[in-house]
Amino acid sequence: MTRFSRPAAPRRSPMSAVCLALALALGLGAPVAQAREGVEVGKESGFTRLVPAEQVEAAAQQQYGQLVQDARNQRALLPDNHPQVMRLRAIAKRIIPFSLPWNRRAGQWQWQVVVLQSKELNAFCMPGGKIAFYTGILDQLQLTDDEVAMVMGHEIAHALREHARERMGKGAATRLGANLISGLLGLGSVGDSLLNMGGQLLTLKFSREDESEADLVGMELAARAGYDPRAGVSLWRKMSAASKGAPPQWMSTHPAGSTRITEIEQNLTKVLPLYERAPKPDVRFDAPAKTGAYLGQPLPLGLWGRGPVRLGSAE
């Protein structure tokens, strides 16, 4: 009986093997997620799979800890019993439970919230749930609770959507490709393509797409937590007024304020029903104080929150 030998499998070139590995890592051909109530932002970038989440979160924890220690040494860290710290932790406590559907790892994060004394209009949430607000954004913009929730939701969204990990993954892919090409051409060895994560997270810049996505996801998080998503419009009007003379949109990684406002308004119908159904906060920290005389001065924010908020402190 004639035996037919199996045809030999075609040999893959080193470059084709690299392309296949990258395609698998990036999740090409993965099933499309089913429709859900709320905003639509597409699936997570496959570039995040090129950098281990554990390494990114460990780097963030180290850098956040150093930032907090430096602020403490400079007497720029507000204490845990400061009204603004208590306010932010109370708002975070309402938002965080809605983070899990966006990132399963969020349930394992050791969330922390601190406030740093600085005139800078800034806030961030590092990978692993490490949140910091600067007093400048709270004091200069006189943010309402709803506006604080929009800022916080936006920053948390960056962490949940792993935008920092995505940016690092893109950098890793670029390095990997360059090193492989150099190796194949005999121009050098295929060196270490792992990212040096030290010192990157605090200075990492997100793309305009990342910023727009964080606006939408953050708006949904705030709405589900019982904060009015329409505050996104007033927030960016305040930010635009405070940022006069900023470079035009095409010269910045951040979308222009008018662009953000338009996009928020276009998506309000997707999140307002969530807000209307959500339980509202029992305590409003932006209500005017009801006691004391201020001799004609504008009433300060009440900041009455005094209940325990079990989130990680700066210690």
Q: pLDDT tens for residues 282-305?
A: 999 987 644 443 334 443 444 433
Residue ranges covered by each domain of the chain? 49-277
Q: Which residues pair with 126 in a beta bridge?
A: 130
CA 266 centroid distance within chain: 21
- Region of residue 51 (left: phi > 0; alpha: psi -120 to 50; beta: else): beta
pLDDT averaged over the chain?
Answer: 75
**pTM, two decimal places:** 0.72
Q: What is the mean pLDDT of residues 91-113?
A: 95
**Torsional sign, CA 255, 257, 258, 260:** positive
Asked whether the predicted pLDDT for residue 135 surpasses 50, the reply is yes
* Orientation of helix 163-184 relative to helix 14-26, angle to 10°: 170
Q: Which residues pair with 133 in a beta bridge?
A: 115, 123
Q: What is residue 225's DSSP assignment? A: T
Q: Which residue has the tokens 């990036």?
A: 26
What count of other Cβ atoms lies within 10 Å of the Cβ of residue 58?
Answer: 14
Q: What distance, in Å, lies between the first and last C-alpha atoms of the chain?
A: 79
Q: Buried b / exposed e across 64-89, counting CB within 10 Å, b at 16+? A: beebbeebeeeeebbebeebbbbbbb
Integer Cα distance of 164 and 300 in angstroms: 37
Q: What are phi and psi of 102, to 5 degrees?
A: -90, -25
CB 115 within 8 A of CB 132: yes
Q: What is the dihedral of CA 274, 279, 282, 284, to 10 degrees?
A: 10
Asked whether the predicted pLDDT for residue 263 surpasses 60, the reply is yes
Q: If you count them, how many residues does the chain have?
A: 315
Interval 136-194: pLDDT, tens: 999 999 999 999 999 999 999 999 998 677 677 655 555 544 444 344 444 344 334 34
Q: What is residue 110's DSSP assignment? A: -
Closest CA to 233 of 267, 193, 199, 274: 267
Asked whether the predicted pLDDT for residue 201 surpasses 50, the reply is yes
Integer Cα distance of 273 and 223 in angstroms: 9
Top-confidence residue, 258 or 143 = 143
Q: Is 148 helix (H, G, I), strand (E, B) or coil?
A: helix
